[in-house]
Structure 1
Amino acid sequence: MRNFKGKKNYFTKDKKYNSIGITLNALNYFGDLSPNSNVGSTDIGFTRPGIGVDFSHRFGPRYTLRASFLYGTIRGDDFESAEKGDSEAKYRYARNLSFRNRIKELTVVAVFDLFKNEASYISRVQWTPYTYIGATIFHHNPQAYVADDSGLPEAGTWVDLQPLGTEGQNADLEPTDANAGIEPYKLVQFAIPFGIGVRYRLNQVFDLSFEMGIRYTFTDYLDDVSQNYVDLGVFGDDDLARYLSDRSTNTSGAEGGSRNIEAEGFNTTTYQGRDGNNYTVVAGFGQEFRDNNRGNKDNNDVYFVTSIRVAYIIGATFTRAKFR
């Protein structure tokens, strides 16, 4: 007996199991239309809901592979978020851009539990912190609201921004232009999802989880904003694209609220566009010049997903021994 060490408790095939889950999510965004340029800056007031479903396979004492689908919305608005009294954010206020973007994503992640569970699903740990990382493919479609006082036929509606080429993607730009060579951005993109969470066992077959995650994307166009302004004359007869490219002189935010940009300390200027028409803009906005930045192309956009998940264990093969 003194040499008997007992049988090691391996995570055998009969202890593997699957689960399905539903999630309620809160989405936030960080990018060119955030309140300021600090990493993680986001306007909590623009938190938007999302919903998701997932399927998980538990294949080890700490390891789970999870595939999920999520649908949700992110929002940003200079007029609402930027603090016009702040030395940096006041220029975002003057820019006056806004957007919404409805995200549809497919994600696969590997989940790593902090507490090991070598038992069956019936005897799994009561609770455990975990982390995850994986890959995401998502479809996005940035839109802007056309203000009621715009005078355009689209006033009072949301319009898709990508087809408009608001940074000159569809225009015949000159080789010396700051945005020369710019191409339309893709609406299907990849991201790296990672985050942390905690899972709690409710009963034999239900788990409740809370997690916070980040989607690091490889695009700077979740908000349709990245590079420089272009000469407003390059849009030709497309008044909608011209209007949504530069909204610095608008007398309101996209969805209401009055603004008087000159009374708030900004100067306007009028120039002749390449189409021969005159355009009035806030100085430094809405005009071709290498220093007239519309966004910051050096940093990609990210979005945050905070989730509450309820999971139900299915297809378990383990059964308890029966005793008289």
Structure 2
Amino acid sequence: MKLSLRCKRGLFLAVVGLSMCFVAKAQNSKFEVGAHGSAFIYQGDLTPSALGSIETTRGGFGVFGSVKMVGPLALRINLAKGSLSGDDSKYANPSWRRERNFKFNTPVTEVSAQVVWNIVNVGNFIRNVNLTPYVLGGFGNTRLNIERDFSETQFKQSAGLDEDLAHPLPNNIPVALAGGGLRYAVSPTLSVNAEASYRFASFTDYLDGFSKSGNPDKDDHYYITSLGLIYSIPQSKGNRNRRKKPTCPAYQ
């Protein structure tokens, strides 16, 4: 059976209209949940690099829930679990690091509140691309269980080590963080994202268990990079009816 031109045009417009409604429904979703796999990177006395200890990167994971606030802003509650590690013996230069041979490990459990700002939807400018860059910042608390090891040091005497051993190691530390990422919508309700966030203030120089015998002038830090999935929870019919929105046109 052949469809008339009018029927074809009406069918096409109906499909387009329904698609627009479906996409708008996801874009107007107020709540989101997500999960991600992560890499935890330590930065402190036991690494010579300003980028942190890439050689001792440890894996982890995280989950979060977020709620839209005003405009492009959202409030996210994030749980991240992983571990941090540092090891002087990983670095040949400078040579004294292998002679000092300090090590540490600690599990990490971080809970944080973050404000996420979705900067711009690239899909508004590039056809068929739904890519959104974002930045974030926030505060949280990190729980640690630090195990330090100096048993293989070749130093006969390390300045400040006795003072470090007498200093209690922190079990909980406050953190301030900042970062950014990209998210790509693969469907109206599902997105993938890549993110990096740096704990620029950990308020301690004993994240690795050493301070006076290391570099007492700088605190220790860490950052997290991750890849994950985000699910935008569709609004219920009741919630949609309470909001005044233009309805989809009817086609005849």
- Give the alignment's TM-score, normalised by structure 2: 0.73
How far apart, CA to CA, are the structure 2 residues paired with 1:169 and 1:220?
10
Structure 1 residues 186, 145: closer, same or farther in 2, change over 3 A? closer
Structure 1 residues 98, 146: closer, same or farther in 2, change over 3 A? closer
The answer for the alignment partner of 2:217 in structure 1 is 298
Higher strand share: 2
Higher helix share: 2
Q: Which amino acid aligns with 1:95?
A: R
How far apart, CA to CA, are the structure 1 residues paired with 2:53 and 2:163?
28
How far apart, CA to CA, are the structure 2 residues paired with 1:301 and 1:169?
14
Q: Identity, % of aligned pairs?
A: 27
Offset, 1:225: 0.7
CA deviation string 1:160-219 (max 9, x = no partner): xxxxxx644675xxxxxxxxxxx4242111111111101111101111110111112111
How far apart, CA to CA, are the structure 2 residues paired with 1:134 and 1:311?
19
After superposition, the CA RMSD in angstroms is 2.8
Q: Which amino acid aligns with 2:50?
A: V
Confirm whether residue 208 of structure 1 aligns to residue 192 of structure 2: yes
The answer for the alignment partner of 1:106 in structure 2 is 111
CA deviation string 1:98-154 (max 9, x = no partner): 11111000011111111169xxxxxxx82111111000111011114697x99xxxx
How far apart, CA to CA, are the structure 1 residues paired with 2:214 and 2:149?
19
1:136-151 alignment runs, 5 A limit: 136-144=140-148
Offset, 1:318: 3.7
How far apart, CA to CA, are the structure 1 residues paired with 2:170 and 2:218?
17
- Aligned pair partner of 1:17 in 27, 30, 34: 30
- Aligned pair partner of 2:41 in 28, 37, 40: 28
How far apart, CA to CA, are the structure 2 residues paired with 1:134 and 1:58?
16
Offset, 1:305: 0.2
Say if 2:42 and 2:86, in contact at 8 Å, map to a contact too. Answer: yes
Unaligned runs of 5+ in 1: 1-13, 118-124, 151-165, 172-182, 228-293
Number of residue pairs aligned between Structure 1 and Structure 2: 204
Confirm whether residue 39 of structure 1 aligns to residue 50 of structure 2: yes
Say if 2:179 and 2:197, in contact at 8 Å, map to a contact too. Answer: yes
Q: Please state whether the residue corresponding to 2:207 is helix, strand or coil.
A: coil
Structure 1 residues 167, 72: closer, same or farther in 2, change over 3 A? farther
The answer for the alignment partner of 1:74 in structure 2 is 84
- Aligned pair partner of 1:314 in 229, 233, 236: 233
- Aligned pair partner of 1:186 in 170, 194, 199: 170
How far apart, CA to CA, are the structure 1 residues paired with 2:100 and 2:165?
22
How far apart, CA to CA, are the structure 2 residues paired with 1:215 and 1:136?
10
- Aligned pair partner of 1:225 in 210, 214, 217: 210
Say if 1:28 and 1:304, in contact at 8 Å, map to a contact too. Answer: yes
The answer for the alignment partner of 2:63 in structure 1 is 53
How far apart, CA to CA, are the structure 2 residues paired with 1:52 and 1:104?
10
- Give the alignment's TM-score, normalised by structure 1: 0.57
CA deviation string 1:23-49 (max 9, x = no partner): 110111110001x1x522x33231111
How far apart, CA to CA, are the structure 2 residues paired with 1:170 and 1:31?
18
The answer for the alignment partner of 2:19 in structure 1 is none
Offset, 1:61: 2.9
Structure 1 residues 134, 224: closer, same or farther in 2, change over 3 A? same
How far apart, CA to CA, are the structure 1 residues paired with 2:216 and 2:226?
30
